[in-house]
Amino acid sequence: MKVIEGGVTAAKGFEAAGVEANIKYQNRKDMALIYSTTPCQAAGTFTTNVVKAAPVLWDKDIVENSPFAQAVVVNAGVANAGTGVQGMAYCKEEADAASELLHIPQNAVLIGSTGVIGMQIPIDRIKEGIKLLAAAKADTLEAGHTAAEAIMTTDTHRKEIAVRFLVDGTEVTLGGMCKGSGMIHPNMCTMLSYITTDAAISKTLLQEALSASIQDSYNMVSVDGDTSTNDTCLVLANGLAGNPQITEKGEAYQAFCEALDYVNTYLAKQMAADGEGATALFEATVYHAATKQDARILAKSVISSNLSKAAIYGHDANGGRFLCALGYSGVHFNPDKVDLFIESKAGKIQIFQDGAALDYSEEEATKILSEPEVTVLADMKMGEETATAWGCDLTYDYVKINADYRS
Amino acid sequence: MKVIEGGVTAAKGFEAAGVEANIKYQNRKDMALIYSTTPCQAAGTFTTNVVKAAPVLWDKDIVENSPFAQAVVVNAGVANAGTGVQGMAYCKEEADAASELLHIPQNAVLIGSTGVIGMQIPIDRIKEGIKLLAAAKADTLEAGHTAAEAIMTTDTHRKEIAVRFLVDGTEVTLGGMCKGSGMIHPNMCTMLSYITTDAAISKTLLQEALSASIQDSYNMVSVDGDTSTNDTCLVLANGLAGNPQITEKGEAYQAFCEALDYVNTYLAKQMAADGEGATALFEATVYHAATKQDARILAKSVISSNLSKAAIYGHDANGGRFLCALGYSGVHFNPDKVDLFIESKAGKIQIFQDGAALDYSEEEATKILSEPEVTVLADMKMGEETATAWGCDLTYDYVKINADYRS
């Protein structure tokens, strides 16, 4: 497997576009399209929030009940959540408009929205945007970049990646883009993430691969503990690579999963590092946990802790806060056994041994924590399982961005 | 029942003191003593964090196994958590010192610590402090104030209250003090809260009353989602009021519980309003929930949400965030039925109806949310249960206070 340039247009037969539709933002692209020249198997995972945005309900229905999917229309600025019956009717209008312009069935059109909750989307401008998208779509790398830019809200940069790998001797490409910066604490999937691949793979295995992949990628990320109403991850596979269709769990499936995991993990980390107001990627790795689920919960508890996040912002090796966050995670362990370490490019030191603080160099600790990517490691000494979670520091700018997001 | 002046020294037979012991802070009081002239029934509730500070383990043992308690020694600055075997040995040294000076058994001495985790307490200065406390103790209101000031860490003011009520025609007094400003998300009880009463009540009923009382007081408060290693709530009852001992659940027990609930709820709200960096008390009331536990979880989810807290700071009626926080709480409900309101001294308006945003006056909403105490109300239309939770807004100053708390 190798990482190549590009995102959602890297795989054969996929086109994309990003346009200015003036949904809420001015003078920037705020609508995106992904389009496949041929029908795709589609898989998806969606927010576990009881309050689900209209496009989430729409996409869930398409993924579960449509014979195939062929396009995704996304807008930034307004989330179409907390919008009741009218919100669902607007989804249908969007799909109708895209169906007509792209000459594909209405139930092959997936929809994504992100932005303010509790506001109706401006349907006329959305429909104008769909016209512009249909006219602008292209299979170039540039078109992929533009789409990745158009789905951003408070993100500071676009997030995309593509990889190429072999399936039964055939070259297969898988690429993706995502957005996400606040209201990020995915529980099923993250804000918006779109993966395209030319792999031929059965719908069942595509869904299975995705459902497994999100557990240790998007679901291990938290920016602020708030699980969004719009979290969506979609994979479209059009089979144009020409590999023998993957229909069972052999080597070919493994190769596909490896590529999918790599892309999802990359995009998940990109979101954490670009968390609202963040100055650092804050990683926590828990090892020797009793179970895999314990390891995941413990790691996520550390990177979700406001006090730990504030300490990372202050470059403060406050091991007590990391230990405290492990302690209230709900996982059982022996606090008198835990070892803690901090690590970055600047080095690695141990700060707690068997649950008690060590006498380490504050100067060295500060140096380690002043890097843009820092890791807290916890050795639980309870078993053999490991997990890693990604978050970011808590800064003045996070508060600033969110104190008056709507205006 | 009436509210009277004072705190832990309001009830008969209780003395207190606060002194400067230079534990970590300079030029301020940082050690406190509560002392009863006669033996007390003691009840306590403690943190559910797997990582428990040494004084928590010490107090739990005293409450469960000692025939009576007679004093509490508290220090601020260092939490004596993450301190291993040495931390426990220091608790014993503290109790020994207090035992000798106060002429009470070692196992009648309760201990509390709050501050930095992962640092040993300076035992010599602590023992000097105990000497000063023993010499300074008095039964005056002023002594109670001083003790309430000495247990503060990042708190901006002392927190105390006292009430007087009748038990079987006898006047009984119950007072308390607490501290807590950060690492506040109690799960069993809050940071440090000490209640004294001259009521005569059996140990069993005292513990039962306390365990019930914390559910809708301290356990409904969150400042930052971080459940501390040191959360402790203790009640000492010395019986000097002279009422017939409360040994069963009749009218007398009810009167006692009412007073205890009032004092605990008052102190809990005080903590929320004085949350680190807070500019507003952020209250959430959920009604018509299916079960009491649902109501509690829903209310606490709203006031714990970073995005909701940041919106309160920005005086932004971001109903979508409140609805989103209800949605990821883990409680089942019908999102298409929820009504949301905001309320303060400046008025009350509805912002969501049946899960969809209403067209309300932004100007009026901002006016309502600009008060120092604001409430979000959610009508779930699922049943008959109600709960209220208290938090605070998320501000630049929270980040500032916590980015480098140790230095």
What ipTM goes with this model?
0.76
- Give SS3 for A50: coil
Q: What's the pLDDT band for A187 if we cut at 50, 70, 90?
A: low
User: In degrees rounded to 5, what are phi and psi of residue B44?
Assistant: -155, 155
Quickly state the pLDDT bin for B190 (edges 50, 70, 90). very low
Q: How far is CA A253 from CA A177, A245, A256, B106, in A?
A: 22, 10, 5, 67
Of the two residues B23 and A117, the one the predictor is more confident about is: B23
Nearest-Cα distance to chain A for B81, in Å, is: 8
Q: What is the nearest CA distance from A362 to chain B, expressed in angstroms?
A: 11
User: Residue B91: is its pLDDT beyond 80?
Assistant: yes
Determine the Cα–Cα distance for residues B67 and B41; give it in Å rounded to an integer: 8
pLDDT at B45: 87
Mean pLDDT of A81-107: 95
**What pLDDT does A193 receive?**
81
Q: What is the DSSP letter of A70?
A: E
Match 């005086």 to its residue by tokens.
B315
pLDDT at position B407 is: 46
User: Hey, which bits of B299-346 come out as E strands?
Assistant: 339-344
Measured in whole angstroms, the distance separating CA B59 from the mean position of its chain's CA atoms is 17
- Going by C-alpha positions, the residue among B220, B315, B209, B312 that lies closest to residue B259 is B209
Q: Most distant CA pair in chain B: distance in Å? A: 69
Read off the pLDDT band of B189 (50, 70, 90). very low
Angle between the B251-273 and B203-215 helix axes, to the nearest 10 degrees? 40
Q: What is the mean pLDDT of chain B?
A: 90
Average pLDDT over residues A165-190: 77
Q: Which of A222, A224, A226 to mutate to test the interface with B (most CBs of B within 10 A)?
A: A226
What's the pLDDT at B188? 41
> Which residues on neighbouring strands pair with residue B14, listed in sequence order?
B36
Q: Is the pLDDT of residue B234 over 70?
A: yes
Measured CA to CA, the distance from residue B172 to residue B239 in angstroms comes to 9
Angle at CA of residue A188, ends B288 and A212, nearest 5°: 150
Q: Residue A407: which pLDDT band, with cuts at 50, 70 and 90?
A: very low
Residue A95 has pLDDT above 90, yes or no: yes
Distance set, CA B252 to CA A212, B11, B12, B137, B248 (Å): 58, 17, 19, 31, 8
- Told to judge if A190 belongs to the known catalytic residues of this protein, a careful annotator would answer yes
Spatial strand order of the sheet with A385-392 comes to A356-357, A347-353, A339-344, A373-379, A281-289, A385-392
Average per-residue pLDDT in chain A? 90
Q: Which of B48, B49, B51 to mutate to test the interface with A (most CBs of A within 10 A)?
A: B51
> B76 by DSSP, 3-state: which?
strand
pLDDT at residue B187 tops 60: no
Q: Do A192 and A80 meet the contact criterion of CB atoms below 8 Å apart?
A: no
Burial label for B135, CB within 10 Å (0-12, 13-18, 19+), is exposed
Sequence-distant (6+) residues with CB within 8 A of A382 are A288, A289, A290, A294, A333, A334, A337
- Quick count: other Cβ atoms within 10 Å of Cβ B93? 15
Pairing of strands A69-78, A109-116: parallel
Alpha helix ranges (H) inside A117-162: 123-136, 141-150
Chain B's closest residue to A311, CA to CA, is B403
Show residues of chain A in contact with B331, CB under 8 Å. Answer: 50
What is the C-alpha separation between B101 and B366, in angstroms, rounded?
A: 57
Q: What's the mean pLDDT in A127-144?
A: 97
Smallest CA–CA distance, residue B302 to chain A, in Å, is 10
Residue A184 confidence (pLDDT): 62
For the ranges B123-137, B201-215, B339-353, the lowest mean pLDDT is seen at B201-215
Rg (alpha carbons) of chain B, rounded to whole number: 21
Per-residue pLDDT, averaged over A81-101, amounts to 95
The residue count of chain B comes to 407
Asked if A284 and A403 count as a contact pair (C-beta separation under 8 A), the reply is no
For tokens 């004092």, what's the residue?
B263
Q: What is the pLDDT of residues A355-381, one digit of tens each?
A: 988 988 989 999 999 999 999 999 999
The DSSP call for residue B337 is G
Q: What are the φ and ψ backbone dihedral angles of B66, each rounded to 5 degrees?
A: -85, 150
Residue B182's pLDDT band (boundaries 50, 70, 90)? low
**Mean pLDDT score, B208-221:** 85
Q: For residue A405, what pLDDT band results from cuts at 50, 70 and 90?
A: low
Query: Which chain A residues contact residue B190 at CB under 8 A?
Result: none
With 70 as the cut, is the pLDDT of residue A185 above it?
A: no
What pLDDT is stored for residue A190 in this prediction? 46
